[in-house]
Amino acid sequence: MHNIESIINPKCIALVGATNRPGSVGLATFKNLIQAGYKGVLYPVHPTSKSIQGVKAYASLADIPDEVDMAIIVVPADKVEAVIQEAAAKQVKGCILITAGFKEIGGHGVEMETHIRNLVKTHGIRLVGPNCLGIINTDKSICMNASFARIMTKPGNIAFISQSGALCSSVLDVAAGRNIGFSKFISFGNKADVNEIDFLEFLKDDPQTDVILMYLEDITDGRRFIEVAREITFEKGKPILAIKSGRSAEGAKAATSHTGALAGSDAAYDAIFKQSGIQRVEGINELFHYAQAFSQQPLPQGGRIAIVTNAGGPGIMATDAAIRYGLKLAAFSEDTTAKLKKDLPPTASIRNPVDVIGDATHERYGSAIRDILIDDGVDGAIVILTPQATTDILETAQIVPRVIKGINKPILTSFMGLVDVSEGVEYLQNQGIPNYTFPEGAARTMAAMVRFGENLKLRGSKKREIPRLPADTQQAAAIIEDKLSGRDSYYMTEKEMSEILHCYGFPLLKSRVAGELSELESVIAEIDFPIAMKIISPDIVHKSDAGGVILKIKTIEQARNAYEKIIENARNYNPKARIDGVLIEEMAKGGMEVILGATRDPSFGPICMFGLGGIFVEALKDVTFRLAPMSELSAENMIHSIKAYKVLKGIRGNPPTDIEAVKLSILRLSQMVADHPEISELDINPLIVYPEEKECMVAEGRIKSLMRNINIHDQWQMVGSDSRQFRARYFNACHINAGIHKNVVDAGQGITSE
């Protein structure tokens, strides 16, 4: 980790571009530093002004008599280089570059940012920005508001880091309205140097931070991000909640124009978050819903929840939402049921959800809440209140923290409405009890807490380790090298792909190739009828579309006719196609069809896909993704997360399938594409899964393309000579195949091997 202590906890700050001009960023930032009560030494820097807001100003950094930990830079973009040079001469450790007009505007802005990046790296200066709002640190020993935000946040145990400065301003305003405080509030903009991973490294061990919120438009280094995030979520037990913009194609374009981000595919980000233990949220409202609960309430030990309500309809809404998000309604013990029967009127419902009836007093609420929470079969509770004429709203709010005292279980409330319940809601929030306008928000949040708690239970599990299955890696590499010999890329036929799959232990159908019709009879003699026959051509990808597949052939005469027909169809489909013969393959027995696939993301390397297969994969899109190489747990989660999982488990008299065999196939695929970065895209569709203990079988597959190792010079140019991004891209592509280095195209930029 590169030390960014001097930026977050500086003892001496110089504000370069401080000014008395009303409405300027320089004035707003300087006032924020003073009004926050910054505990260090502050020096305004202006070339002509003698003082800024009554504080003596200095004409340059060189004129400041003391050492400077951090410089905040708010000068015009074309003046930034000179300030960085001054900072280097002054031996400033870190800078926050608030100024915009760099990569996000394209063209010359990209060149200027690249130059600034190289400059700070040369001088060993850590730089946040450009194009950022700044940084707030509420630690009482620092009290720093090094930003031009309109408000200073109150202290809290939540850290927020964002790629968007404008979003930060809105988040601060919403947080103030909800009485939420922050430990650190960070806008990092274009991340020319310091990025989201650097900040996560710092926050990992920050004693003031218990929960981390993130807004991201891209990730600098996917694999390093996963490593650091896992340390935070699984080892430190700190939840990370993230918004990743650019889900749609249109959104990804918007992200690029906003910050110049190189947006990766959304599937890659979903995979990264799932493998990192990060909760991905849909928007700011959900982000705050989760943040309040994670930062203020204990984690549930399980997903069994109880609901207390004074109205039947909202209780049903909460129940539906709880089940939809994966929670379970707790079954009360006989002792709890007896207590509820004693404490509640005869008209009340003592089943879960507990309906205390519309005329419920705060005492009745208190008894019901206490009774259910001390039940060992209850892991958490949601309390709903609708404002009725007889409801004592404030008193009910006041009873909640009193009756849960000493009980280490989460409680979320839904005092429904805005005006009538406002006094009670404010009291609850001041007591650290999150409130949600509607019950669905509370149920969704409780489910998120349960998921995180379940993840923590798996800390130290062997299933989190990446397994190494038996494989003939050298033979597979030799096959790939042979096919790429003299070529930059190569489409691999089904038969050729099977040779590589065999190296990794995939279960394969018996098959042979008949290069000529005269070879057909001797080839078929080695394979039992019925058989399938398929065209082999590197120029025909979709064999069925070309009439290149004939199934259920039962006699030699049928086979001869099929051979001639397949060749004829292929010639008609593509007269220029190279035809290597016909694949003769035993027919696979019927079973459940799933798909395995892999592609190579330009930023994050190999990504594996699993889902419902056959002809429905494009229509239903019941698939999920993970980055390779993956752990056993990730493979299991892939299987569990698709909608067809219930079918795999057995439904309506159909036996459960061999899920263990599917998991092994996913892990084999993960290992194979990680070992061989030349595999740019492949499908195994379908992988036919049979009942338990009868394994599975690769029925068909293709490697759509093998590609010679990436041209390093092109990658270098793509990321603007950013050595960190370059290394991330290069080593994601190379991964563990050390032999790839012999094919590297020298970028001529002084790159050293790592």
H helices of 127-177, where? 165-177
Provide the pLDDT for residue 588: 87
* 379 and 263 housed in the same domain: no
Q: Backbone dihedral region of 669: left (phi > 0), alpha (psi from -120 to 50 degrees) or beta?
A: alpha
**Domain of 383, in residue numbers:** 302-457
Considering only CA atoms, which of 503, 673, 662 is closest in space to residue 604? 673
Pair 115, 190: CB distance under 8 Å: no
Contacts of 407 (CB under 8 A, 6+ apart): 373, 374
Considering only CA atoms, which of 611, 584, 596 is closest in space to residue 526? 584
- Which of 586, 620, 644 corresponds to the end of one domain? 586
Considering only CA atoms, which of 603, 622, 605, 604 is closest in space to residue 613? 622
Contacts of 269 (CB under 8 A, 6+ apart): 216, 219, 244, 280
CA distance readout (Å), 371 to 135, 301, 337, 442, 635? 46, 18, 9, 20, 41
In a domain, 751, yes or no: no
* 430 and 505 housed in the same domain: no
Provide the pLDDT for residue 329: 97
Considering only CA atoms, which of 49, 109, 51 is closest in space to residue 76? 109
Considering only CA atoms, which of 699, 689, 752, 706 is closest in space to residue 726? 752
Provide the pLDDT for residue 616: 66
Task: Find the angle CA(347)-CA(349)-CA(354) to the nearest 5 degrees.
Answer: 135
User: Which residue type occupies 541?
Assistant: V
Q: How far apart are CA 80 and CA 375, in angstroms?
A: 63
Considering only CA atoms, which of 675, 636, 590 is closest in space to residue 275? 636
Considering only CA atoms, which of 449, 444, 426, 433 is closest in space to residue 178? 426
Provide the pLDDT for residue 261: 29
Provide the pLDDT for residue 753: 26
Q: How far apart are CA 81 and CA 88, in angstroms?
A: 11
Considering only CA atoms, which of 276, 261, 153, 168 is closest in space to residue 217? 261
Token digits of residue 417 = 């409405």
- Which of 707, 724, 745 corresponds to the end of one domain? 707
Q: Which residue has the tokens 């998921």?
A: 451
In a domain, 633, yes or no: yes
pTM reported for the whole predicted model: 0.85
Number of domains in the chain: 4
Q: How far apart are CA 680 and CA 600, in angstroms?
A: 5
Q: How far apart are CA 620 and CA 133, in angstroms?
A: 43
* 390 and 288 housed in the same domain: no
Q: How far apart are CA 110 and CA 118, in angstroms?
A: 12
* 517 and 598 housed in the same domain: no
Is the peptide bond prior to 10 cis by the omega test (within 30 degrees of 0)? no
In a domain, 727, yes or no: no
- Which of 586, 606, 634 corresponds to the end of one domain? 586
Token digits of residue 640 = 């569990």
pLDDT by 10-residue block (mean), the chain, 754 residues:
82 97 96 96 96 96 96 97 97 96 92 96 95 96 95 95 88 89 96 95 96 92 90 94 73 35 59 91 92 96 97 95 96 96 94 94 95 97 93 95 95 95 94 95 97 90 91 95 86 87 95 92 90 90 88 94 95 93 91 90 84 75 89 94 89 87 97 93 90 87 74 40 41 38 32 28
In a domain, 129, yes or no: yes
Q: How far apart are CA 664 and CA 644, in angstroms?
A: 18
Q: What is the maximum alpha-carbon separation in the chain?
A: 101
Pair 468, 671: CB distance under 8 Å: yes
DSSP state of 105: G
Q: How far apart are CA 158 and CA 180, in angstroms?
A: 9
* 124 and 209 housed in the same domain: yes
Which backbone phi and psi does 697 adopt, to 5 degrees?
-150, 135
* 106 and 22 housed in the same domain: yes
In a domain, 732, yes or no: no
* 333 and 275 housed in the same domain: no
Q: How far apart are CA 249 and CA 265, in angstroms?
A: 9
Token digits of residue 80 = 């930034």
* 109 and 31 housed in the same domain: yes
In a domain, 312, yes or no: yes
* 12 and 90 housed in the same domain: yes
Q: How many CB atoms lie within 10 A of CB 258?
A: 16
The CATH number of residue 492's host domain is: 3.30.1490.20
* 557 and 696 housed in the same domain: no
Pair 518, 567: CB distance under 8 Å: no
Provide the pLDDT for residue 651: 81
The CATH number of residue 49's host domain is: 3.40.50.261
Provide the pLDDT for residue 709: 61
In a domain, 611, yes or no: yes
- The residues with which 643 forms a beta bridge, in sequence order, are none
* 310 and 289 housed in the same domain: no
DSSP secondary structure of 463-498: GGS-------HHHHHHHHHHHHTT-SEEEEPHHHHH
In a domain, 116, yes or no: yes
Considering only CA atoms, which of 353, 420, 413, 363 is closest in space to residue 393? 420
* 630 and 564 housed in the same domain: no
DSSP state of 435: B
The CATH number of residue 671's host domain is: 3.30.470.20
